[in-house]
Amino acid sequence: MASVFPVVIVLVIVAGLMATSWVFTRKGPQQTLIRTSLMLTLACCYLMWAIAYLAQLHPLEVPRVNLALEH
């Protein structure tokens, strides 16, 4: 059954991952860079996936194929 639930679950998971990456990046000259990159990557990838998922939850169009022409 298509529902929003998976999106919310994954959001929680990604938020958790982001928090983990903030806390557990070891100190060093590259700490800010690694933290920022990891968090931004997680956020961007989640956003991309969530948009694709949400767009197909209750689609307003159905695929239409013309079988006679299909090769």
Partner 1 sequence: MGTHVPDEYPTLFRSEDMSLVQLFVPAEVAHDTVAELGELGNVEFKDLNPDVNPFQRSFVGEIRRIDEMARRVRFFATQIERERDVLPVRPLYDSAPLITVGPRAAQTMDDLDVTLSAHESRLLEMNEGYELLSGRLAELIEARHVLRETAVFFQRAENNQSEIRTSFDDSSAPLLQHEDRENQYSTVSNVQLDLEFVAGVIDRTRLSTFERVLWRVLRGNLYMNHTDIAEPFVDAATGNSTYKNVFIIFAHGDALLAKIRKVCESLGATLYPIDPNADKRVESLREVNVRLEDLESALYNTGSTRRAELVRIGESLRSWEDVVRKEKAVYETLNLFNYDVGRKTLIAEGWCPHFALRHATEESGTSVPPILHELRTSKTPPTFQRTNKFTEGFQTIMDSYGIATYQEVNPGLFAVVTFPFLFAVMFGDIGHGTIILVAALLMILNERKLVRADLGEIIGTFFYGRYIILLMGLFSIYTGFIYNDIFSKTLHIFQSGWSFPEGSGVVHAEPTGDVYPFGLDPGWHGADNALIFTNSYKMKMSIILGVTHMSFALCMQVPNHLRFKRLTDIYHGFIPQMLFLQSIFGYLVVCIIYKWIVDWSKSPTPPPSLLNMLIGMFLSPGSIAPGTQLYRGQGFVQTVLLLIAVVCIPWMLCVKPYLLWRERQRVRGQGYVGLAVGDDGFDARHDDLEGEEEGNGRAIAADAEEEHEEHDFGEVVIHQVIHTIEFCLGCISHTASYLRLWALSLAHAQLSEVLWDMTLNRVLGAEGFIGQILVVLVFLMWFVLTVAILCVMEGLSAFLHALRLHWVEANSKHYEAGGYQFKPLSFAALNEKE
Number of chain residues interacting with partner 1 (CB under 8 A): 39
Tokens of 23: 């806390």
29 secondary structure, DSSP code: T
Distance, in Å, from the CA atom of 11 to the CA atom of 5, rounded to the nearest integer, reads: 10
By the rule CB under 8 A, 28 interacts with partner 1: yes
Q: Closer CB to partner 1, residue 19 or residue 44?
A: 44
Tokens of 1: 């059954």
Q: Closer CB to partner 1, residue 19 or residue 48?
A: 48
By the rule CB under 8 A, 33 interacts with partner 1: yes
Closest Cα to residue 42, out of 56, 24, 22? Answer: 22
By CB under 8 A, name the binding residues for partner 1: 1-2, 4, 6, 27-33, 36-37, 40-41, 44-45, 47-49, 51-68, 70
